[in-house]
Structures are given as C-alpha cells and as structure tokens.
C-alpha cells in the first residue's frame, strides 16, 4: 500500500511557499527529561494541506461526514522529502484506506469486539432515530394545539358572556321587582354554571385524547434514555479495550500502550484515533524524520469545527500524548518572530500605538483576538498582552478581528475608555480600511475599475445557528450590512481591493466578496466561503483605523502595512 507521497503530488513545480516560517507549534514535554519538544505547522505544510482539501472537495464521500484530516511532511534517510496523510477514526466505515496512514497497532486485537459493538451502537442509533421521529409526537403536538385553540375560543366567548351577564344583573336590580329579579338572576347563574360544565367537558375530552399519546411518548423517552445510557457504557467498554491494546511508538524507539501513557486518566472516546498520533507513530516506526504537520477539519461543520480551517492538537486526546510521541525527534531552535501555541502567555504581539488609555496592535493572521471556549484555544492577543503587560488584566478588546484576518486591533486600558471607544464603533464614527486580495478578477459589470471611486455592497447578513460561524445573505432575517469597495490593482489572476465597511457584521467582508450578489469572488485563502486556490493564509488585512481619541479628542489615524 502506497503511503508516502511526493511533494509534486500536492504542489506544482512553480509553487513558492515558505518552508520554515510557522505560526503554530505542536508541543509537549518529554516524559523522561522534561524537555519541551516541538513540531511546526509551516506555510509549506499548510499549502500541502490546502491541495489535499481540493482533492477532498472533488469527492462527495469526503463531505458526507465531518472529521479531522492531517498531513505530515517527513524526510527520508536519503534526505528526500515525502508527505504522509491521515484521517481521524474511520473513513466511510474503513480503518485502512489506500494511500492513507494505517491505524495505530492494536485495533486488530479488538477488531471482532469492535465490529460487534459498532453494530450494536448502530442498531441503537437507528432505534433512537425511530423513537425521536415517533408519529405520536406530531399527533400530540397537533391535537394539543387544536384543543388549546378551542379552549382559547371558548374562554373568549365565556368572557364576553360574563360581561353581558354583569350588565344584565345591574339592569335587573334597577328595573325588576325582588321576586322577578330572583328568577332572572337564577337564570344568569345557571348560564354561568353551564359554561363551567362546558369547559370541564372539553378539558376532559382533551385529557382522554392526549393522555394515551402522552404515555406512548413518555415510554419512548424512557427507552431513549435507557439506550443512550447503554450506548455510553458500550462505548466506554470498547474504548477501555482499545486503550489497553493500542501501542504507540516514538522517535526514541519506545513503545507504550495508551493505558500506560495515561494511567488512571479519563481518556475521551477516540483517543489514539486522531490524525496526529497516527502520523507521528507511523513516521517513528518507519524511520522517517518529521519536519512539519498540519491538521484541518473537512466535511459537515459541527459546533466547534469549520470546514477548511486548521486546528491544533486537541487538548483532551492528542495533547497529553504529544510529549511522548515527539521524544527522540531532533528539536529545532525557535526562530525570531515565531508564534508559539500551548501557553496563552507565549509570544508577543506587535504594538503599533500605545498610551495610558489604549493600545493598538498589529494582530498576526492565525491568532485569536480573545481566548476561545476551550483549553486548546486560549492563545490570543488579549491573553498574551494580559500576561506581558503590568496592567494587562485590565485590558479589554474594543472590537474583534477573525482569527485568520491580520491587522489593527484596538484594546482599552480602563472601563471608561472602553465605553467611549465602543460607542464610536456602534455609532459608525470609526473609519476602517481593509485590504484584500480576491481569488479572481472583478469584471467590469460589477462597476469597478482601477481608480474608480468606491462603490457600495448592501447585502443583509444572517448567521444560521445550526451552522456557526457561517454567515449568509438573507433578505428576511439578515441584519443590514454595508461595505464600500474600491479596486486597487489587477495582479495576474487576482484583484487587490480596499474594503471600507460601514457596519461590522461577522464575516461581512468575506460574504460580500464571495456572494454572487456582491463581488462574486471569494477572498484568496477563504476556504469557508468557497476559495479553492492554494494560499498560505486568508488575504484580508485591517490596514487602517481612524477614530477620535477618547481623551484628547484629536483624530487618531492608525496604519499597519499589508503583509501580502
């Protein structure tokens, strides 16, 4: 089975991509020496990964289920460079696929039990789907809604009748004799009692119709809880067996099982099946020297992963193994300017303006503006500055840039400054200029030529809560979004433009560029919105920011040179 691939399988002979610079490092400490061991994600290996993404995009089977994929650039004993590729877990139900790194040894020992357990889990999954789609659920909802409408209509009618009876009672007391009024009032009381009986009858009918359905639904819910608990137990049993059988080898020639590597630890489902362990284990067993690695998500997006985005070692499954897996690998010295990954206090951020009230930095591409929700996404501009500056803990970001966008980011040093600056952003008093390279040529029918005055794109944006952070144009649910744009230059097959956003919606410039109702051309490197061209990064940079200083009142014009 061919597993080693040449660079020409992923890059053409004219590709000129930096093979050294990195803005992320896979890291871990050697269990024996405590030395910090590191493996970079370079621009070269990212370019290789982008090419693999293009291959995956051509085959629907890779988009059916979302999962992590990875590539590892290695060096043969002869000095030649080759590429390994791997997928996490199973690919279309298979653990061994031609051209991909095989799973870590140990799966064969539990293959029969795994197949039996997976069949049980699949049967449980199908039963859960059937129970969730139980017809009685829709019947109950429909009938419940109909009864509620009847009850509401009855209540409205009874309320009107009650008001009429009150008026009649007052009129009877004023006009009839005591004997005549008693009879008339009794008739009104009887009508009131009849309305009460009518309501109780309808409620009883509702209960008689809905109760059997409710019992079936409750029984189905109880069965679903039982299945989920049993499914969890089966998964844990299978994982325990796998962890005892899986054996990892590092570059020092040491082999240990997952249970030995994480004794007494709570190992999440899938530990040992991720791309990074597969790639590093295979390289170590084959005598290959690892040079750089990159992992990305492809397929259906989930809550935390977006198709085409790069991700570091996951905190729960891979990071605890990284120190052992990298042991025995030559450890290169850090280069000046490299951004490190594990600790939120690692690395510096270029400060382009600073006074006692605010700070403006030139955020690198690939770095978050603020820490994420999970442990492997804590590295950010804010966390770095909070660690590096004496007053860092008082800093707050005034606005944000996407992780893959570089450029000017503004932070306030106190609450009052934050409030004043935020107000300027909210009232659209801040002038922003972004520079971008589009992955195609803007045609004349878009009305934009080099030197023309800025034109406007007005497309309302809406973020689908089921597919975050993806945004799309939606005329009904979307929020108003305005962008001025101006063509700077045509550069080969690309177009360099200025974007001047008047609103600040999530991914506004990226959608306005990519959507056919906007420019119809994705920003170079924007895989989320359809760019297929190989690029080392998202070519979007916040170049200029013009605002009123919250203390002096003078105009503050900030600039950061475009790095592409």
Count how many residues are written for the chain. Answer: 564
Could you say which of 273, 379, 402, 526 is catalytic? 402
282 C-beta neighbours (distance < 10 Å), count? 21
Measured CA distances, 102 to 61, 89, 274, 322, 384 (Å) = 19, 11, 12, 19, 39
pLDDT in the model for residue 340: 36
Is residue 14 over pLDDT 70? no
What percent of the chain has a predicted confidence (pLDDT) above 70? 88
77 C-beta neighbours (distance < 10 Å), count? 8
376 tagged catalytic: no
Backbone angles phi, psi at 114, to 5 degrees: -65, -45
d(CA 89, CA 272): 9
**Per residue in 363-420, pLDDT tens?**
998 888 988 765 556 778 998 888 778 777 889 999 999 989 999 999 999 999 999 9
Q: Where residue 16 falls among pLDDT bands split at 50, 70, 90?
A: very low
The answer to whether 45 and 73 are in contact (CB under 8 A) is: yes
Q: Where residue 533 falls among pLDDT bands split at 50, 70, 90?
A: confident
303 C-beta neighbours (distance < 10 Å), count? 8
Own/partner pairs for 517-522, CB < 8 Å, 24+ apart? 517/459, 517/473, 518/457, 518/459, 518/473, 518/483, 519/438, 519/442, 519/446, 519/457, 519/485, 520/446, 521/438, 521/439, 521/440, 521/441, 521/442, 521/495, 522/438, 522/439
Put simply, whether the predicted model's pTM sits higher than 0.75 gets the answer no
pLDDT in the model for residue 230: 93
Measured CA distances, 270 to 7, 67, 273, 318, 553 (Å) = 30, 12, 5, 10, 56
d(CA 208, CA 202): 10
Choice among 128-142, 258-272, 488-502 with the minimum mean pLDDT: 258-272
d(CA 401, CA 410): 10
Is residue 3 over pLDDT 90? no
What percent of the chain has a predicted confidence (pLDDT) above 90? 50
Report residue 291 as tokens: 């040079």
CATH architecture of 351-559: 2-Layer Sandwich (3.30)
pLDDT in the model for residue 342: 36
182 C-beta neighbours (distance < 10 Å), count? 12
Is residue 335 over pLDDT 50? no
């Amino acid at each position: 089975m061919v597993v080693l691939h040449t660079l020409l399988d992923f890059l053409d002979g004219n590709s000129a991509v930096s093979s050294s610079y990195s803005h992320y490092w896979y890291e871990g400490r050697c269990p024996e020496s405590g030395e910090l061991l590191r493996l970079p994600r370079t621009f070269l290996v990212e370019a290789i990964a982008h090419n693999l993404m293009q291959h995956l995009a051509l085959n629907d089977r890779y988009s059916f289920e979302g999962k992590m994929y990875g590539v590892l650039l290695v060096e043969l004993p002869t000095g030649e460079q080759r590429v390994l590729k791997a997928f996490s877990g199973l690919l279309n139900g298979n653990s061994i696929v031609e051209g991909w790194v095989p799973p870590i040894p140990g799966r064969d020992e539990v293959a029969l039990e795994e197949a039996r357990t997976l069949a049980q889990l699949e049967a449980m999954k199908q039963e859960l789907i059937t129970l969730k789609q139980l017809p009685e659920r829709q019947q109950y909802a429909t009938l419940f809604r109909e009864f509620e409408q009847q009850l509401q209509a009855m209540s409205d009618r009874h309320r009107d009748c009650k008001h009429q009876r009150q008026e009649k009672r007052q009129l009877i007391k004023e006009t009839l004799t005591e004997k005549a009024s008693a009879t008339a009032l009794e008739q009104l009381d009887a009508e009131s009692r009849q309305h009460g009986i009518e309501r109780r009858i309808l409620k009883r009918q509702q209960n008689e119709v809905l109760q059997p359905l409710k019992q079936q639904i409750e029984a189905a819910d109880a069965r679903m809880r039982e299945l989920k608990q049993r499914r969890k137990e089966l998964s844990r049993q299978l994982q325990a067996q796998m962890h005892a059988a899986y054996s990892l080898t590092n570059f020092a020639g040491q082999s240990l099982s997952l249970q030995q590597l994480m004794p007494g630890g709570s190992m999440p489902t899938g530990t040992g099946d991720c791309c990074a362990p597969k790639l590093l284990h295979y390289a170590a067993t084959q005598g290959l020297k690892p040079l750089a690695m990159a992992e990305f998500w492809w397929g259906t997006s989930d809550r935390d992963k977006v198709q085409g985005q790069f991700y570091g070692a996951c905190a729960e499954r891979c990071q605890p193994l990284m120190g052992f897996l990298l042991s025995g690998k030559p450890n290169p010295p850090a280069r000046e300017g490299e951004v490190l990954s594990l600790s939120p206090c690692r690395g510096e951020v270029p400060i382009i303006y600073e006074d006692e009230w605010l700070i403006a930095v030139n955020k690198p591409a690939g770095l978050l503006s603020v820490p994420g929700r999970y442990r492997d996404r804590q590295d950010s501009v804010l966390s770095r500055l909070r660690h590096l500056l004496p007053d860092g803990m008082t800093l707050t970001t005034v606005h944000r840039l996407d992780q893959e966008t570089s450029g000017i980011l503004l932070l306030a040093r106190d609450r009052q400054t934050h409030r004043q600056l935020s107000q300027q952003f909210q009232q659209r008093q801040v002038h922003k200029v972004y520079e971008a390279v589009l992955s195609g040529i803007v045609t004349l029918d878009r009305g934009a030529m080099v030197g023309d005055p800025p034109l406007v794109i007005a497309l309302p944006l809406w973020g689908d809560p089921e597919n975050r952070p993806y945004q799309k144009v939606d005329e009904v649910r979307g929020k108003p979004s305005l962008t001025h744009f101006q063509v700077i230059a045509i550069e080969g097959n690309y177009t360099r433009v200025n974007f001047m956003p008047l609103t600040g919606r999530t991914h506004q410039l990226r959608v306005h560029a990519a959507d056919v109702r906007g420019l119809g051309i994705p920003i170079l490197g924007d895989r989320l919105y359809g760019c297929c061209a190989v690029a080392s990064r998202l070519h979007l940079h916040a170049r200029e920011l013009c605002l009123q200083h919250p203390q002096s009142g003078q105009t503050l014009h900030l600039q950061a040179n475009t790095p592409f």
